[in-house]
Amino acid sequence: EIAFYQDKFVGIDEKVVPIQERGHQFGDGIYEVVRVYGGVPFLLDEHLLRMEKSADALEMKLPYTTEKIKEIIHEALNRSNYTDADIYFQVTRGISARQHHYPEVPTVFSLTVRPAKAIDETKRQEGIGVLLVEDVRWLNCYIKSLNLLPNVMAKQKAMAGGYYEAIFQRDGIVTEGSSSNLFVVKDGQLFTHPATNRILHGITRAKVLELAAKLDIPVQEQEFDINFLHQGDEAFITSTSAEVLPIREIGELELPRTRPITDRLAEAFKDLYKVKN
Ligand code: PMP
C-alpha cells in the first residue's frame, strides 16, 4: 500500500497529519476515488475535473496543477505494482491555528493506493439489499466533501440491519445512496435524480446515462418518490467501486429477479474499461 502526504511518499501507517490540519479539525477538504483496471486509472480526467469543481465551490486552490497530480498518481501506481487498485486522493485547506474562516495557507494534497476492493460475483449476480434512510445531509451534496458523517451513519444503519447500502430520501423524494447513485427502471425507461445540489454528480452515473443513450434506452432525469421506487421493474446503484450493481430488495420488498436493462448497462459499462485496457 502506498501513501503520499504534502509533497512526499510516506508509510501508510506513518503518523503524518498535523493536529492543526483543517481536514482533521473541520473536515475542511475534498476527495476523489479512482478505480484502476489493468494498470490504467479509469476516467481519471473526469475525476480530476470534478475535484476542480469541488475546490472552486469551496474557494480552495489546489496545491498542484492537474498535470502534477497525474504525475503523482502514476508514480504512486508504479510504486505499488498493483494492476487493480483503488486510489483515494484528498485536498484539505491546509495547516493553521484553529479558526473557522479560511486561513491564507497552502492547501495539502494526500493520496493512498490500495488493492482494489472488487465486489464478489455472487453479490453482483444476486443483487444487493438496500434500506431507505432519511437524507439529513446539507444542500451542497454535489461537493465531494470529506464531511461524510451523515453518509457514515446511514451506511451503519443499513449494515446493522443486514443491508448493503442505504438509500437516502428527502421529504419522500429518493435522492441517492450513501456512497452511490440510484437508478430505477420502469416500463423500459431509466429514471434517476437530476444532477442538482442534492446529489453527488457521480462519474459512473454520467457514464451510465451516456451508455443508455447509445443503447437507445430512454432516460428521465427527474425526481421520483419512494412509491415510484417500490413500483420499479428494476433498480440499481452506481459508483466507482460498485460499477452497476443490481438491487434485489428494498427493505422488505423484493424486486423482480429478471433485470434486462440493468444487465445490459452493467455489461456495457464493463466493456468500457475492458476495451481501454
Ligand atoms: N453519491 C455519493 C454520496 C458518493 O459518495 C458516491 C461515491 N463517491 C457516488 C454517489 C458515486 O459517485 P462515482 O460514480 O463518481 O463514484
Q: Do the domains spanning 2-115 and 121-276 agree at the CATH topology level?
A: no
At 97 the pLDDT is 97
Q: Do 259 and 228 touch, CB atoms closer than 8 A?
A: no
pLDDT of residue 123: 93
Tens digits of per-residue pLDDT, 77-135? Answer: 999 999 999 999 999 999 999 999 999 999 999 999 999 998 999 999 999 999 999 99
Alpha carbon of 97 to ligand 1 centroid (Å): 32
pLDDT digits (tens, 9 = 90+) for 161-215: 999 999 999 999 999 999 999 999 999 999 999 999 999 999 999 999 999 999 9
d(CA 27, CA 61): 16
pLDDT by residue (tens digit) across 219-232? 999 999 999 999 99
- Look up 144 and say whether it is catalytic: yes
C-alpha 202 to ligand 1 mean position (Å): 5
Catalytic position from the list 144, 155, 270, 276? 144
Residue 157 contacts residue 165 (beta carbons within 8 Å): no
> Helices H, strands E: what count in the chain?
8, 15
Residue 276 pLDDT exceeds 60: no
In 17-42, which positions are buried (b, 16+ CB within 10 angstroms) versus exposed (e)? eeeebbbebeebbbbbebbbbeeebb
> Which set of grid coordinates corresponds to residue 110?
494526500
Mean pLDDT of the 233-245 span? 98
- Determine whether the shortest distance from the Cβ of 238 to ligand 1 is under 6 A: yes
What residue segments make up the domains of the chain, in order of their start?
2-115, 121-276
- Please give the pLDDT value at position 262: 98
Residues in contact with 177: Cβ distance below 8 Å, sequence separation at least 6, in sequence order = 130, 165, 166, 167, 168, 237, 239
Strands (E), 51-205: 85-92, 108-115, 128-134, 165-170, 173-177, 181-186, 189-192
For the chain, the average pLDDT equals: 97
Which one-letter DSSP state was computed for residue 202? -
Give the global pTM. 0.97
CATH 3.90.1150.10 fits 2-115, yes or no: no
Instruction: Categorize the per-residue pLDDT at 275 as very low, low, confident or very high, splitting at 50, 70 and 90.
Output: low
Which pLDDT does position 265 carry in this prediction?
98
- DSSP H helical ranges for the chain: 22-26, 44-57, 66-80, 121-126, 149-160, 203-214, 226-230, 260-276
CA nearest to 244, candidates 266, 216, 227: 266
| CATH number for region 121-276 | 3.20.10.10
